[in-house]
A and B are shown apart, each in its own frame.
Chain A
């Protein structure tokens, strides 16, 4: 889709249970978007959703990566992990539903707001997963001008 040569691609590895670094990818994404002069309201939405996606990889998955592609008319964020997949996506989309451990809850997460938050922030939201498989979350943000 992005035929523009000016597309910027950012890629971050996200490790399982790495609570110390969790948030660094989102922080860097935010910094880059701000440097590019993108509207602060959009930057905020992208940063929040990317952070939720990053936390989800840290909390729930075996590890994965976050890929951000920025073109003149769109920001695409993809969070791609290596499993173990989501048994019931419909349930995971419901506010308040969570499978997080007490340790995660003590960090202030695992309240079942992650996926609903991401969906709310993005212009287009899609999640693909099944049990024992990878999970891919894709979000698109439209840029005007």
Chain B
């Protein structure tokens, strides 16, 4: 699913990385636990989170995630947005909760990350 479509489904506002909206993701992962993101995400995914600290961008960077949706209307500060700009990461914010955000994307065919056997 293209980021453009995700933006439309979630009625999200793009904060940075508008030029990468044609990039495609194959799954989504919703979590406020960055260690779990590092442990479980191993494909081209979009991260859905309510966390807005710089560790979210660092996590996305090392885990090769190029797009993040902040849920519940969360708005990161300028420092975080600048870091995302530097790392070519697209950031969006949606008013929907994590649950509703996940449901809306799932309904349109964007499935969750497969985690069986990843950890061991």
Contact = CB atoms under 8 A, between A and B. Distances in A.
Interface of A: 19-20, 22-23, 26-27, 30, 40, 44, 47-48, 50-52, 55, 95, 106-114, 116-117, 120
Nearest to A23: B58
B58 A26 contact: yes
A98 to B, nearest CB: 9
B21 interface: no
A114 B33 CA distance: 11
Given A48-B63, A113-B36, A107 B53 contact: yes
A58 to B, nearest CB: 10
Interface of B is mostly: helix
B59 interface: yes
Interface residues of B, number: 24
A109 B33 CA distance: 6
Contact of A116 (B39, B42, B55): B39
B62 A109 contact: no
Interface of B: 32-39, 42, 49, 51, 53-56, 58-59, 61-64, 87, 119-120
A114 B55 contact: no
B30 to A, nearest CB: 13
Contacts of A55: 55
13 contacts: A19-B53, A23-B55, A23-B61, A27-B58, A30-B61, A47-B62, A48-B38, A51-B62, A108-B33, A108-B37, A108-B49, A108-B53, A120-B119
Contacts of B51: 107-108
A108 B55 contact: yes
A22 B39 contact: no
Contacts of A112: 35
A113 B38 contact: yes
A50 B58 CA distance: 12
A143 B51 CA distance: 35
Q: Which residue among A20, A27, A40, A50 has the maximum number of chain B CB atoms within 10 Å of its CB?
A: A27
